[in-house]
Amino acid sequence: MAKAPGTIRQRGNSWNVIIRLNGERHEFGPRSEPFLGTATAKKQVEEWTWRKHAELKEAAKNAAKRHAFAEPDAVSFSELLARFREEMMPPLAEGTQAAYEDTFRPAVEFFVDKLGDPMLEDIRSRHVNDYLSWRRVNRRGGSGPLSNRTLEKDRAVLHRLFDQADEWELREGNPVSRVKRPKYDSHNPVILDSDQYERLITECYAHGPMLGLYALLMGEAGLRAYSEALNLQWDDIDLEEGFLHVRSGRDGHRTKSGKSRWVPMTARLTRAMRDHMASHRLRMYKGKRSPWVFHHTASRVGSYEAGERIKDLRSSFDSAATRAELPAGFRRHDLRHRRVTEWLGDGKSAAIVQEAMGHSDLRTTMGYKHLAKKHLRALVDEAPAAEVEEERGSA
């Protein structure tokens, strides 16, 4: 038998055994183990030591399992938020992350600063109701009470946060699920007619080539403003075949759908992209070329360097839209709506439109059908005379 896993000492007619396991010292003698107080042969003590070592090892393994599956200690709201940001936020698209943070900031102000950072198990639906009531009159910037649309977004984000807490077993149940959703009128996309669209493109190009191409990308290819258009790189452009490659997963960047896709370019967009590439692709900034289609051409101290990716063009776009005198309520994303409705209105396959737009569900694509009215004209337009005569002849 191999040497016993411990130290064995004989003291008169008794034995003393010391077993060290996982950094802990376990000592046994006649008081704790009467067996060791008898005049037993050393071989029997060694066999007993092996059995005791196995028992201790098994007990340590079971203790580790119990610890791993034990109920977690009480977790505060701020601790939940920190874990959510660390584990759940990174895979989300940039625009989605920004939308979540817009809710997290006032939520921290209420739950942490105002309520004193309560434990999750102490948060009830009434606290969520109190938060929404407080949020309605405590908006970040602007004037007047917060819209129900924004309140519904805040509620939805909190619902997702507490759903994750329930999934992580940090608390039982979701207090937001018992809070009624604020009712609001959903946004109706403003579908620009041809004249309005051309005025917008003209005003955007008047501001500069970056803004002009940005508007054209959304209008002609239906790219999303944040996670897609501004993340295009030169090697995403295939002028020969006339496609844009919208990539997801490159350098940690993720599109909303989480999938890469190809989007066809119209002839107009292809010409504009070719001109843009001729003017900007080979430009050097401190000895380097920018990989980004949309990049700063000059540096601004404390803000950005020439060649860096442009992160947002919203302010410039909104100013151009104002100068173009577009209908009230128009937003950048409405250009994506316009692209989808135009394709559907022209009778393009909804399945192909879904693939080009990156919709995860065909029902999302078909949801635009009510905005595309061209196909409805068939109900009232008179049939061509030749068709009428043909029908009469076959009657």
The CATH number of the domain holding residue 120 is 1.10.150
- Residue 388: predicted pLDDT: 46
Poorest-pLDDT segment among 2-11, 51-60, 329-338: 2-11
| Segment 315-350, tens digit of pLDDT | 999 999 999 999 998 999 999 989 988 888 888 888
Same domain, 169 and 210: no
- Residue 393: predicted pLDDT: 52
Structural domain that includes position 21: 7-68
Q: Once rounded to an integer, what is the mean pLDDT over residues 72-83?
A: 88
Same domain, 53 and 160: no
Q: What is the CATH number of the domain that holds 304?
A: 1.10.443.10
pLDDT over 70 (residue 181): yes
Where is the domain boundary, 178, 206, 223? 178
Residue 350 lies in a domain: no
Highest mean pLDDT among 65-69, 283-287, 363-367: 283-287
Handedness of CA 223, 224, 230, 234 (dihedral sign): negative
More confident residue, 34 or 116: 116
Residue 187 lies in a domain: no
Same domain, 93 and 172: yes
pLDDT over 70 (residue 301): yes
Q: Once rounded to an integer, what is the mean pLDDT over residues 160-186?
A: 90
More confident residue, 328 or 391: 328
- Residue 387: predicted pLDDT: 53
Say if pTM beats, i.e. exceeds, 0.95: no
Q: Which residues pair with 312 in a beta bridge?
A: none
Same domain, 200 and 323: yes
Handedness of CA 256, 215, 221, 153 (dihedral sign): positive
Same domain, 226 and 299: yes
Same domain, 270 and 214: yes
Residue 127 lies in a domain: yes
Residue 391 lies in a domain: no
Instruction: Spell out a b/e string for 180-212, using b for 16 or more CB atoms within 10 Å of the CB, else e.
Output: eebeeeeeebbbbeeebbebbbebbbebebbbb
Residue 174 lies in a domain: yes
Number of domains present in the structure of the chain: 3
- Residue 29: predicted pLDDT: 85
Arithmetic mean of pLDDT over the chain: 86
Residue 14 lies in a domain: yes
Residue 348 lies in a domain: no
Residue 70 per-residue DSSP state? S
- Residue 395: predicted pLDDT: 45
Same domain, 301 and 239: yes
Same domain, 133 and 59: no
Same domain, 168 and 207: no
